[in-house]
Chain A
């Protein structure tokens, strides 16, 4: 599915509706299944060769937990150390502030370039945080042209598409689809479909831009509080070009990206690449601190973005959401994501991490169907390199959704909540439970149909439960519950014992 407009949780349809649409797209499903199979396989191989993988996960979790507990302190440290090294740190409360800041910084940079270069263009490194605040649309509205330089993001941009995965944004596209796009957009009618040919086409297309555009916008994988440095890992080297060639570099990072010490990278630079792309190490690991007179950008800005993150931080039970290092392993392993792909989540953050992060960034005003977009199978928790207990957070968020949707008189218009309350009342009494079981047997009678073996089955249920019988049969309730069988047996045993003991 390719959506022309940005993924926006405020306007996206509820997950079940969007997902049902994605399920109809057989090409999409084949692409997603193939890509996630390949990445999962690679990950499994390089994780299994690590004797200390569990210890690394535990360390990673400890580092992130500690960071979040002292986030205010480490952010101030980062600001101070970054400024000392020649960077300028800005703070943005939300997306609107961040967009305005970045646009102002780009315009200042264009002005600084002087009259010989007045083109309003910027290079971009793949950054989900810029996608979160829909920066590209804002830049375009301000008359600034952003050029995505990450191969996958380039594919997304050229196709007026949206990212469907946090590490592999064009995961939903296959090689043939990419070739078609490049043929059209790069005017290369003879282009072949081998990875080499496609990469070469992208390389030539991007090279002219790398050489021309003096301003770049990046995200960040990590901010190091102790040094004021920034770290970006990537596979292509296009990020490295953006970090070294331009004269002005603007980095947008969520406040959750900070790490206390340089040595914390020792843990996370082992777990991140293995979890994300199944590589032992990323081909390009870029780290820089402020500006250097001899080399690299001369102007360096960091925009620290909150956009709902302090609210997540304030919720003790959900805080672990911010531990995420954006490896995407939970997406690749999620049986829901593997069926639907990313667009169904209506947010740049798809899959299990998206199902907990997006609704929280929206303060549960939007995306309230996402905490339910999971069977709670726990596969995400099992692979998470920083041990985020995603099922636990999902359940916590479901509770928050229910509380909001059943507050006061609202419960009266909510059939699910009424049914749940009734069920709870039933389960609080053995007598009521038995009555409900008897009532259930009576109520199902008109729906029962005997199968060839003469067993009663239900193949069509009304209303809300119709979702079950759309694809599944349900065996009818047997004539006797277990407790009835148990009581009969106990009675018979007693009688047998009594008659055996009785004098003749």
Chain B
């Protein structure tokens, strides 16, 4: 299958290793990955902070970039949630404003082809074993948007359970938010930090070396505390774990090697 990658703006800039891992996993499975070069941002930060007018122009741009894709993969559950929950209404608004005839139809057709990374593997491709090898103790944090908006359920865990050598740890109060919440982490920094301290304590209590999730925004938050406290525990996006095999243990790109 030809799969178009929407890397998302913050992964592109801050977590390129996640995109590299997505490419490696999908190519290993025999798929062809393409990267529409004009892509930028889904508009989540603007929309969720209350700047809906500023988010609107990003929608036609996104549609234009991905209109012809057979499938779109997005390694960020919150960006996919943004699209599913708000793009239809945004498209209607743009149509009403004029100059965007047919956008609602395009959005509807495109949304059916957009998958969060684990969703693409488990639901579209029907896989749980992607041939990964990762001999480490791992705690999985179900990101709120993946859990509640996308209903990823057991999907990411089924992928992790099939990884050879992995030791999965149970994370206490796993479904409680890590406290990131986009601009919430800065606007309400103190509360965000209090929420984070509960999460990082739970991660440390598992004895895991790695905390993983389907969303680097949660992981940026969790890793922020794990690194500040010099815990020696770090975070990795699910795709990075699935990219590891017996033969391949180090990232070739930026962002450092896998453990």
Within the complex, the shortest CB–CB distance from B182 to chain A, in Å, comes to 7
Question: Once the chains bind, are B13 and A440 in contact (CB under 8 Å)?
Answer: yes
Question: Once the chains bind, are B50 and A375 in contact (CB under 8 Å)?
Answer: no
B99 at the interface (CB under 8 A from A): no
Contact residues, B211-246 vs A (CB, 8 A): 220-221, 223-225, 227-228
B-chain residues with CB within 8 Å of residue A457 when the two chains form the complex: 227
Q: Which residue of A lies closest to B178 (CB)?
A: A375
A483 at the interface (CB under 8 A from B): yes
B190 at the interface (CB under 8 A from A): yes
Within the complex, the shortest CB–CB distance from A466 to chain B, in Å, comes to 8
Query: Which listed segment binds B: A71-79, A216-224, A292-300, A397-405?
Result: A397-405
Q: Which residue of B lies closest to A339 (CB)?
A: B194
Cα–Cα distance between A421 and B15 once the two chains are bound (Å): 24
Cα–Cα distance between A402 and B148 once the two chains are bound (Å): 27
Query: Which listed segment binds A: B33-41, B109-117, B121-129, B130-138?
Result: B33-41
Contact residues, A268-285 vs B (CB, 8 A): none
Cα–Cα distance between A336 and B194 once the two chains are bound (Å): 9
Question: Once the chains bind, are A468 and B38 in contact (CB under 8 Å)?
Answer: no
Question: Once the chains bind, are A485 and B253 in contact (CB under 8 Å)?
Answer: yes
Question: Once the chains bind, are B189 and A475 in contact (CB under 8 Å)?
Answer: no
Q: Give the B interface residue count (CB, 8 A).
A: 72
B-chain residues with CB within 8 Å of residue A480 when the two chains form the complex: 16, 253-254
B170 at the interface (CB under 8 A from A): no
Q: Give the A interface residue count (CB, 8 A).
A: 66
Cα–Cα distance between A375 and B195 once the two chains are bound (Å): 10
B-chain residues with CB within 8 Å of residue A468 when the two chains form the complex: 185-186, 189, 224
Cα–Cα distance between A178 and B13 once the two chains are bound (Å): 53
Question: Once the chains bind, are A472 and B193 in contact (CB under 8 Å)?
Answer: yes
B-chain residues with CB within 8 Å of residue A5 when the two chains form the complex: none
Contact residues, A391-443 vs B (CB, 8 A): 392, 395, 397-402, 417, 420-421, 423-424, 426-430, 433, 437, 440
Within the complex, the shortest CB–CB distance from A426 to chain B, in Å, comes to 8
A362 at the interface (CB under 8 A from B): no
Question: Once the chains bind, are A340 and B48 in contact (CB under 8 Å)?
Answer: no
Instruction: Encode contact with A along B165-199: 1 for CB under 8 Å, 0 otherwise.
Output: 00000000001110111111111111111111110
Query: Which listed segment binds A: B54-62, B156-164, B201-209?
Result: B54-62
Q: Which residue of B lies closest to A467 (CB)?
A: B189
Within the complex, the shortest CB–CB distance from A54 to chain B, in Å, comes to 13
Question: Once the chains bind, are B16 and A482 in contact (CB under 8 Å)?
Answer: yes
Cα–Cα distance between A84 and B148 once the two chains are bound (Å): 48
A459 at the interface (CB under 8 A from B): yes
Question: Once the chains bind, are A477 and B13 in contact (CB under 8 Å)?
Answer: yes
A381 at the interface (CB under 8 A from B): yes
Query: Which listed segment binds B: A16-24, A120-128, A233-241?
Result: A16-24
B250 at the interface (CB under 8 A from A): no
Question: Once the chains bind, are B20 and A482 in contact (CB under 8 Å)?
Answer: yes
Within the complex, the shortest CB–CB distance from B190 to chain A, in Å, comes to 4
Quick one: given A339-B191, A424-B54, are A472 and B196 in contact (CB under 8 Å)?
Answer: yes
| Residue in A336, A378, A485 whose CB lies within 8 Å of B20 | A485
Quick one: given A402-B49, A437-B13, A472-B221, are A378 and B194 in contact (CB under 8 Å)?
Answer: no
User: Chain B residues in contact with chain A, CB under 8 A?
Assistant: 7, 9, 11-20, 23, 35, 37-41, 43, 45-52, 54-55, 57-58, 61, 85, 144-145, 148-149, 175-177, 179-198, 220-221, 223-225, 227-228, 253-256
8 tightest A-B CB contacts, nearest first: A375-B181, A472-B224, A467-B189, A398-B50, A377-B177, A424-B54, A402-B50, A478-B254
Question: Can you sample 25 A-B contacts with CB below 8 Å?
Answer: A336-B188, A340-B191, A375-B185, A379-B144, A379-B177, A392-B85, A399-B50, A402-B52, A420-B51, A424-B54, A427-B41, A428-B40, A430-B37, A430-B40, A433-B9, A437-B13, A468-B185, A470-B193, A471-B197, A472-B221, A477-B14, A478-B17, A478-B254, A482-B12, A482-B20
